[in-house]
């Protein structure tokens, strides 16, 4: 069995060492042009040349949660694309979103600003019943975020393309129910995969359906958000603020209006990072299952993009 690694902008040596240790019977190498054919590949944003030179790949393991970077490439019809189910990312995402929700709900950002000015301030406590959290995208990450928010007694509702039945979560499905979902979401958390159907979904037409004073948290992809529309809705006061971890251009360019906006919190795409050891263990487990003829989770439907 031959496994090749092609991960751009990533230190590939630890992946090589980890896979070699976990699969000593396999030949594992870092891809170079004109390499022999491999059975499986571990990738992150591979070039088209890699796929063109590896038409016999059985499986393409993507080391991030989103596979949008692969959708623009020509993937051999016989190659199965597999994403990580979790590999430690869901708990990180839950931590990040809960922190962002609680920071705004409890007005800790306001207290921090007052403290920096030497002011001892007081704000009237808010009622959670008036701040339901709506989650766009109810996959593995969205469901983990929902459970974590429920532990703080927030009302949680979710929207997804296909119907979901999640304990304690009011769910909405498809375009026909999007408006009803938005108008009752005082927090809006975007955890959608990026597809042609979801690109620019965080636009003026949709964001303006949120209640006045709603707060946006985007931890999915920068292309979900129409940046000018967010700035306009903040300026009118329809939205009270936003926490953004992903952007159309990364790193966020110097001088971008998001950097200095008083109601926008920026983080450098760090809400949920790939944990290498957990990812390697999951990839190895799936390779072993496939070798025994078993079905695996995480297979991507390329027609849908997730």
Residues designated as active site:
221, 269
Antiparallel, parallel or unpaired: β 133-136 and 156-160? parallel
Antiparallel, parallel or unpaired: β 156-160 and 170-173? parallel
Q: Give the pair of three-digit tokens for residue 174.
A: 């498809």
Measured between alpha carbons, how far is 123 from 67 in angstroms, rounded to an integer? 43
Q: Give the pair of three-digit tokens for residue 171.
A: 């769910």
Measured between alpha carbons, how far is 187 from 41 in angstroms, rounded to an integer? 39
Are 190 and 223 within 8 A, CB to CB? no
Written as one string, the DSSP assignment of 233-299 is HHHHTSEEEEEE---SSSSPPTT-HHHH-TTEEE--S-SS---HHHHHHHHHHHHHHHHTT---S-B
Q: Give the pair of three-digit tokens for residue 276.
A: 């290498």
Give, as one character, the DSSP assignment of residue 156: E
Are 135 and 141 within 8 A, CB to CB? no
Q: Which residues, including other chains, have CB under 8 Å from residue 201's CB and lie 6 or more apart? A: 136, 190, 192, 224
- Residue 226 burial (CB count, 10 A): 19
- The CA-atom distances, in angstroms, between 157 and each of 1, 14, 150, 167, 204 are 45, 40, 10, 11, 21
Measured between alpha carbons, how far is 80 from 18 in angstroms, rounded to an integer? 22
């Amino acid at each position: 069995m031959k496994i090749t690694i092609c991960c751009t902008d990533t230190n590939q040596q630890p992946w090589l060492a980890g896979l070699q240790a976990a699969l000593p019977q396999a030949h594992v190498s870092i891809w170079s042009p004109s390499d022999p054919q491999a059975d499986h590949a571990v990738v992150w944003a591979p070039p088209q040349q890699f796929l063109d030179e590896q038409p016999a790949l059985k499986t393409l393991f993507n080391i991030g949660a989103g596979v949008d970077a692969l959708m623009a490439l020509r993937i051999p019809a016989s190659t199965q694309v597999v994403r990580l189910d979790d590999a430690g990312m869901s708990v990180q995402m839950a931590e990040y979103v809960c922190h962002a929700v609680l920071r705004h709900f409890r007005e800790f950002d306001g207290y921090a600003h007052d403290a920096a000015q030497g002011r001892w301030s007081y704000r009237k406590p808010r009622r959670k019943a008036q701040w339901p959290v709506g989650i766009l995208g109810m996959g593995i990450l969205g469901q983990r975020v929902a459970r974590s928010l429920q532990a703080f007694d927030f009302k949680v509702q979710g929207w997804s393309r296909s119907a979901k039945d999640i304990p304690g979560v009011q769910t909405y499905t498809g375009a026909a129910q999007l408006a009803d979902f938005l108008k009752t979401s005082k927090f809006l958390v975007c955890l959608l995969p990026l597809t042609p159907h979801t690109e620019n979904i965080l636009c003026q037409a949709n964001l303006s359906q949120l209640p006045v004073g709603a707060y946006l948290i985007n931890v999915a992809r920068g292309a979900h958000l129409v940046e000018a529309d967010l700035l306009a809705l903040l300026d009118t006061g329809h939205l009270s603020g936003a926490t953004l971890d992903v952007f159309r251009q990364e790193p966020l360019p110097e001088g971008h209006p998001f950097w200095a906006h008083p109601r926008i919190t920026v983080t450098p795409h760090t809400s949920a990072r790939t944990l290498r050891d957990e990812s390697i263990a999951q990839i190895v487990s799936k390779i072993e299952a496939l070798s025994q003829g078993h079905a695996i989770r995480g297979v991507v439907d390329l027609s849908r993009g997730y």
